[in-house]
Chains A and B, each alone.
Chain A
Amino acid sequence: MTARTSIAPPAEIVGAPVASRPTVWRKLRKNPSVLLGATIVLIMLFIGLIAPVIAPTDPTAINPAARNLLPLAESSARLEDGTRATIVHLMGTDSLGRDVYTRVLYGARVSILVGITVALVSVAIGTIIGTAAGYFRWLDSLIMRIMDGLMAIPAILLAIALVSLSSAGITTVIIAITVPEVPRIVRLVRSIVLSVREEPYVEAAITVGTPVLPLLIRHVLPNTIAPLIVQGTFVCASAILVEAILSFLGIGIPPETPTWGNIMAEGRQLFRLFPHNILFPGIFLAVTVLAVNILGDGLRDTLDPKMEKRA
């Protein structure tokens, strides 16, 4: 072995500037699934936001003279200032004479609100519990057995039980949908934490005395972000669906609040004669859930390195 006296290597002193990898944003913008899904979801969100502006009437206004009208039928109603106005019911009216179009627009608010809230809350809770289970060995088997127990109960049954324990309302519904979603997030986060905690850079951080909390936030949790975004969108889609199911079964949000599930429940009895009552909210529900799922698929394709290899 030749004895070199200096430490400095002969060449290559500075890290070579590497061509910057295509950023995540650029990849996301190129992915057709992400574009399509995000566009539809944003349109739904926008519809929900501006519902009061574009809706022709009040979503709860009952008009006994205009019950069960077919789509595009017209009715006249007395406005608050005493004048009469003619309203075109784009999607007809229900058995109480409420404008279905207005109610569907307002329904987008509830669905999107429930979907996003459930996704955020379950991801937040799931991340905390999952990190604890993955990092602290002694907590692991205890937490995971509880989660196994929760996962053994069908999500909708669990939601029904939780709703029946308290008064109906949007908060109750959100909690009822969140609880069964949490174990899935916990499992995901735990598995990532379990593998990342064995990484040498995490062990190096332990040996330089990094306390547990900064260690988790700096070195471990960033690895969970991408899978959580993906899983979060799928939770969001399933939450929108479960909310509609609960409302349809009459155990979710009170029937006077316009939600897609409620509108469909209302139209169920006369569904053979007036299918529009179920058809239009059904289409909105299907399109929204489909869009969120497409978005989730696109996100997974771009964010998950395993999917990239397969392509």
Chain B
Amino acid sequence: MSEPILQISNLSVDLPRNGDRSHAVEKVSFSVNAGEIVCVVGESGSGKSVTAHSVMGLLPKGQLTPTGGEILLEGENVLNASPGRLRALRGTRMSMIFQEPMTALNPVLTCGEQIDEVLQIHTDLALAVRKEKVLAIMEAVHLPDPARIYGAYPHQLSGGQRQRVMIAQALVLDPVLLIADEPTTALDVTTQAQILRLISEMQERRGTGVLFITHDFGVVADIADRVVVMEKGQVVEMGTTEAVLKRPQHSYTRMLIDAVPTLDPPSREENAAPIMLETAKLSKIYGTGGFFRKTGEVRAASEVDLKVRGGETLGIVGESGSGKSTVARCIARLVDPTSGSIRVGDLDVATMSERELRPHRRRCQIVFQDPYRSLNPRRSVGASIIEGPVNFGTPHKEAYAMARELMSLVGLSPDALDRYPHQFSGGQRQRICIARALAMRPEILIADEAVSALDVSVQTQVLELLEDVRRKFNLALLFITHDLRVAAQICDRIMVMKSGLVVEQGRTAELFAAPQHPYTKALFEAAPGRTFEFARTPSM
């Protein structure tokens, strides 16, 4: 093979002095060949994004500076390039697509104008030629009706279409290198599958080298030719996809791969405990009524029937906008359901006033997705945990003693109760949130995407914790997720939702073995890395 188009050798980037380590990335070397997809995998803080940003020359000035090594793009060291030269290289020789297509596109320009801008800056083509080129690239990334989308604003498109526009913008000048920084993380699985297919199609057809940053081994298995595994700023393993995923050498790689949940649900015992939570025809309609007029309404959830027994885990699976969170929030009575009933024990909590709800507040607790926003940053962890029991009249001292017990139960030191949330990592915070929920001695625990924001290794631990407390306290666990792998591991039964409707439900093993509804099938098809056999350390 000829010269690699991107050759990174011994790249080091310093962190600001008060950081937790001295280098963001340290002596990183790897290369990307033409027509090849190289995946850089690692958990948050591994330096994978910093590496990508230094290639583009996009590191925040004054905070992160490359201190050693070189980045050769077709033989030219971009670290020494002048700002003007870098600007010329970006777009023409290398380009980048980002995680969040909504914020990466300018909301006040039409999609066509944004792609056209690249041509305007880097070429002298006439307007008509440019427009032709823009429409051609839109066609190439399979945007439906390019003429219409040319004049459409980003908010008028779906997430997947926006990401296609981003890709079109990145590829319009046929760069030799495309850097994709977690381009599918914010997308639903079915959309993700389409975008991944598009990226590999573009790479094959145009011979572009792709540097693909991701944390998802399923995605790696689907598209990568070669894999670079990074940990704490260093490359720990590198090789072909086959080699790394099937015969991982480094312990960190093995740990990461082991942490990826499989799509084979483990066998679970039959549960005949009494029903703890039951909804009947639960509906929530959001009306966007104003002061002067009533406008359209959105059926976020319609006629949802579900049952959860004590000690049982019911998973609600669906993509964004499917209404799964709405159902959870109705049950937790954070929103008022429009109609239907929610029976908890012998009470119907669907229509209760806040005053009558007090007993329900004891019984039903919720753990949220974002560990960084679900604890009040101004209050110590202890104060957050004892807040609930104290509300219900537990003496302060007793509640505090209980909080100490709960802290060790969730695997944290009881002495950390005086600390503040910013002193904990995401996984630790999620443990604290679980402790806060358990402090109420609930019967129902709702986990609303509770592990979605966590790194895979931490995800496994938190899932195990949830399993453990479910067993210990005989909790009815309502587990909301978009991730089929996670659902397969933790749920006894699964309910699939789409556009506010339940399309299918059943026992996890049966559902995974033989999905009935076409949407469920599509969802399973789209799961990244579905057919790949990962190397796994045998279970202990």
Residues of chain A touching chain B, judged by Cβ–Cβ distance below 8 Å, are 1-4, 7-9, 12-19, 141, 145, 199-201, 203-211, 214, 218-219, 222
Contact = CB atoms under 8 A, between A and B. Distances in A.
Contacts of B388: 208-210
B52 interface: no
B464 A141 contact: no
B428 A4 contact: no
Interface in B352-371: 358, 361-362, 364-366, 368-370
Contact of A13 (B266, B412, B436): B412
Contacts of B362: 209
What DSSP secondary structure best describes chain A's contact surface?
Answer: loop
For A8, A209, A219, which residue has the most chain B Cβ atoms within 10 angstroms?
A: A209
Contacts of B158: none
What 4 pairs between A and B have smallest CB-CB spacing?
A208-B388, A209-B361, A200-B374, A15-B423
A15 B537 contact: no
B373 A200 contact: yes
Nearest to A199: B373
Nearest to A19: B18
A98 B20 CA distance: 67
Interface string B438-463: 01100000000000000000001100
A4 B361 CA distance: 32
A201 B373 contact: yes
Contacts of A1: 258-259, 261-262, 266, 460, 489, 539
A7 B411 contact: yes
B334 A15 contact: no
B415 A14 contact: yes
Contact of A9 (B364, B424, B461): B461
A8 B374 CA distance: 22
Contacts of A4: 461, 464, 540
A204 B391 CA distance: 13
For B266, B291, B427, which residue has the most chain A Cβ atoms within 10 angstroms?
A: B291
B265 to A, nearest CB: 11
A15 B421 CA distance: 9
B535 interface: no
Contacts of B540: 2-4
Interface of B: 18, 20, 258-259, 261-262, 266, 291, 332, 334, 358, 361-362, 364-366, 368-370, 373-376, 378-379, 381, 384, 387-388, 391-392, 409-413, 415-416, 419, 422-425, 427-428, 433, 436, 439-440, 460-461, 464-465, 468, 489, 537, 539-540
Nearest to B387: A208
A260 to B, nearest CB: 41
Contact of B428 (A8, A15, A141, A204): A15
A3 B376 contact: no
Given A7-B409, A209-B361, A12 B464 contact: no
Given A1-B261, A208-B436, A9 B411 contact: yes
B258 A207 contact: no
28 contacts: A1-B262, A2-B537, A3-B539, A3-B540, A7-B468, A9-B461, A12-B428, A14-B412, A14-B413, A14-B416, A15-B381, A15-B428, A16-B424, A200-B374, A201-B375, A204-B375, A205-B387, A206-B334, A207-B334, A208-B388, A208-B436, A209-B358, A209-B391, A210-B387, A210-B391, A211-B391, A218-B376, A218-B387
Contacts of B460: 1-2
Nearest to B368: A200
Contacts of A141: 291
A1 B379 CA distance: 36
A284 B433 CA distance: 55
A204 B368 contact: yes
A214 B465 CA distance: 31
Given A13-B413, A19-B18, A201-B374, A207 B332 contact: yes
B49 to A, nearest CB: 18
A194 to B, nearest CB: 15
For A2, A141, A199, A200, which residue has the most chain B Cβ atoms within 10 angstroms?
A: A200
Contact of B366 (A18, A207, A210): A207
A115 to B, nearest CB: 29
Given A12-B425, A209-B392, A204 B436 contact: yes
Contacts of A206: 334, 361
B361 A15 contact: no
Given A203-B366, A204-B374, A206-B334, A7 B258 contact: no
Nearest to A142: B291
B524 to A, nearest CB: 19
A2 B258 contact: yes
A14 B364 CA distance: 28
A5 B423 CA distance: 27
A17 B20 CA distance: 11
Contacts of A14: 412-413, 415-416, 419
A17 B334 contact: no
A207 B330 CA distance: 12
A7 B439 CA distance: 17
Nearest to B370: A200
For A14, A207, A210, A219, which residue has the most chain B Cβ atoms within 10 angstroms?
A: A207
B395 to A, nearest CB: 16
